[in-house]
Amino acid sequence: MIQLQAPMPQDALFMHMDDESFQRLSTYVTREYGIKLPPSKRSMLESRLNKKVKSLGMTNYKHFIDYIFSEEGKQTVLFDVIDLITTNKTDFFREPAHFDFLTKQYLPAFKTAGNDSLNIWSAGCSTGEEPYTTVMVLEEFRKKNPHFKYNLLASDVSMRVMQTAYQGIYTLDKIAGVPHEIRREYFLRSKVQPDVVRIKPQFRKNISYKRINLMNDSFGLNSNMFNIIFCRNVLIYFDKQRQEAVIRKFANHLRPGGILFLGHSESIMGMNVPFRQIRPTTYERI
């Protein structure tokens, strides 16, 4: 067993990652999670991991990497490392064209076709802004269509960000771009912390959460169960081969005619996948 030492002083010198440690970690993260970590990302890794290394009382990255890949480390530290490595930039009503499409085209057509229950997956939900925005859009639609029902699954590889999403607590600056009437309808202002808001409980309960690694073969989900999948600004961290593999798995989990939303810098161009583009970054399962 690798022996942990007493924690180092917080002002200890910044540690740099040696070539072998970087190669071991980047190879593992790419293989298991699909995230590209080229040499240009080494400084980012160091800045995110240094505090963790010091908290374990370790003096170099070789010992740290040995530990996280040990049986004990896999059980106690490895998921924390993945949490620290993943990027979690998101906002409420980010890329609003997708939500406009839902409101003005998809949901009315879905209802006209005689459907009452919608299944949605927010894949790579981060701290929850995307699934909560989706809930707000669906609840606004339900006001005029009271029999309409929906199920929303939110997933991420990071338990840390999903915990934030589950709690639904945000600072005021995070909702600065949310329309005033939406803020009043869906958020509660904290009586203790004036700069903090929380999603109202009746809307928080409409989302279920599951840790899902998009590199897994079937995601642990049933085939053809979703009408809509959001996977925005996630695939940009994967190489082209892994992007296509994930898109194919999404196709297996979307019903015919289902919709896949990607991020503004993502595309399926050049991929042999069963989708057709119907709008920018919006694809229909065929």
pLDDT tens-digit readout, 174-226: 999 899 999 999 999 998 898 999 999 999 999 999 999 999 988 989 989 99
Give pTM, 2 decimals: 0.84
**Residue 88 above 90 pLDDT?**
no
**Residue 2 above 50 pLDDT?**
no
Amino acid at 191: K
pLDDT digits (tens, 9 = 90+) for 21-38: 999 999 999 998 888 889
Strands of the sheet containing 254-262, edge to edge, are: 207-211, 149-156, 117-123, 226-231, 254-262, 282-285, 275-279
For the chain, how big is the Rg over CA atoms in Å?
Answer: 21
**Residue 8 above 50 pLDDT?**
no
**Residue 155 above 90 pLDDT?**
yes
Please state the separation of Cα 123 from the chain's center in Å: 6
| Contact status, residue 65 vs residue 23, Cβ threshold 8 Å | no
Which domains does the chain show, CATH number per domain? 19-85 (1.10.155.10), 96-285 (3.40.50.150)
